[in-house]
Amino acid sequence: MITLRSIESGRVKSRRSEYGLFSLFILLIITFPLKMFGEEVKNNNDKQKKSDLIILPIIYYMPETSLAYGLGGIYVLKGSEHEQKSRPSSVLMSVVRTLKKQFIVEIYPDFYVKKGKYHLVPNFNYRTYSERFYGIGNNTKKDIEEEYSFQSFKLDFTLQRKVSEKFYAGIQYEFEYNKITDMEPGGILETEDIVGKELGASSGFGLVVNWDSRDNIFYPKRGKYCLVSAKFFNPSFGGNYSFNRFNFDFRQYISFFPTHTLALQGYIDIKTGEPPFQKLSLLGGQYLMRGYYKGRFRDKNMIALQMEYRIHLFWKLGIVGFLGFGDVANTLNKFKLGSFKYTGGVGIRFQINREGNHLRLDFGFGRETFGVYFAVNEAF
């Protein structure tokens, strides 16, 4: 699902930072979320909440950003009682500023309309940011790490129509503009022929089909989620690059006990043509292969397998344990089982509303790497 922000690192941080983040998580679940308002409707003499707005503070520290701070919110809108089959619509939004003058705005609406007949997802993201680059491939070295700064604007629009009770099909459009504002002199980006280091945009249309039998879209305990999409990027659509993307996302949720859930995910991302380096498959981050810095390894194709065991303890608190196994490669026949990376870790969960939205704090470990992630909703 969508998150407000994550905290991630490709190298071991000090214990002070870890304890500080844990203390912040405890403080947030005690004092927040702050419910600003909710609309209630009466039905058969019972009150039913129809909408809910929750405000969340955002604060974290990374060497790349120094202190980062901001504000985020979750707005959930449920259908009335006679629309029980409609899934809840939601809007996640955040605004973040850092002491390094970095700025991030994210707005992620997710609408189910006409009693769930249509599923509309128009996402917006703007960043002035900096991040690390290690080159391209699945065997890049940590000592070639360099940092670059950039501005980006992304609009991702998906419209699906319900074909049957659990099956959706529709169209997609994606536009992303990137401008590198600073790069290390003599580094890989400056000296090598890397597609995407010049100012440019990616613009593409696509098709998507989706099977969704989850019992809850925010915190599923049972059911399946299967998404297959194809996007075609071309200069004739208003961009600068020509490439295609094929994405496969398969998830299974199994409930053993009322409070225990096993979540499984298989993820395949395939690119053909000449995508810019920003649009390559990125291993790591808060969704796939937690423990690795996002983009620690990048290439045209990626395969990742993940599992997570979730336990609700008491009140609104829960814990999870997770494992991941994945890699990137230039072509599908270049994947080698012996080169696959692994991750594992544990996390804490705090439920913030009845619909199943959670705050999560994850500690992920990989091969000579470690990451901490503070976000909203599950990784998958």
Predicted local confidence at residue 363, as pLDDT: 92
| pLDDT given at position 59 | 73
| Structural contact between residues 119 and 168, judged by C-beta atoms closer than 8 angstroms | yes
Domain membership flag for residue 8:
no
40-53 burial, b at 16+ Cβ within 10 Å, e below that, comes to eeeeeeeeeebebb
**In the predicted model, what is the mean pLDDT of the chain?**
85
Residue 323 has pLDDT above 50, yes or no: yes
Helix, strand and coil percent figures for the chain, each rounded to 5: 10, 60, 30
Query: Nearest CA to 96 among 54, 116, 67?
Result: 67
Q: Which residues of 102-111 are buried (b: 16+ CB within 10 A; e: fewer)?
A: bebebebbbb
Q: How many CA atoms lie within 13 A of 30 on its CB side?
A: 6
Asked whether residue 7 is domain-assigned, the answer is: no
| pLDDT tens-place string over residues 117-173 | 999 999 999 999 888 999 999 999 988 999 999 999 999 999 999 999 899 999 999
Torsion of CA 92, 98, 103, 107, to 10 degrees: 0
Whole-angstrom CA distances from 39 to 76, 79, 116, 150, 335 are: 11, 12, 20, 41, 52
**pLDDT > 70: percent of the chain:** 82
Residue 347 is assigned to a structural domain of this protein: yes
Q: Which domain holds residue 279?
A: 15-376
Q: What integer pLDDT is reported at residue 10 of this predicted model? A: 44
Whichever domain contains 34, its CATH number is: 2.40.160.50
Residue 63: pLDDT over 80 = no
pLDDT at res. 36: 53
Cα gap 230→167, rounded to integer Å: 17
- Angstrom distance (rounded) from CA 292 to CA 294: 6
Residue 336, pLDDT above cutoff 70: yes
- Predicted TM-score of the model (pTM): 0.84
Q: Which of 14-23, 92-101, 203-212 has the lowest mean pLDDT?
A: 14-23
Query: Phi and psi of 231, rounded to 5°?
Result: -120, 145
Q: Is residue 148 part of a domain?
A: yes
The number of domains in the chain is 1
Predicted pLDDT of residue 354: 84
Residue 3 lies in a domain: no
Closest to 308 (Cα-Cα) out of 346, 359, 354, 335: 346
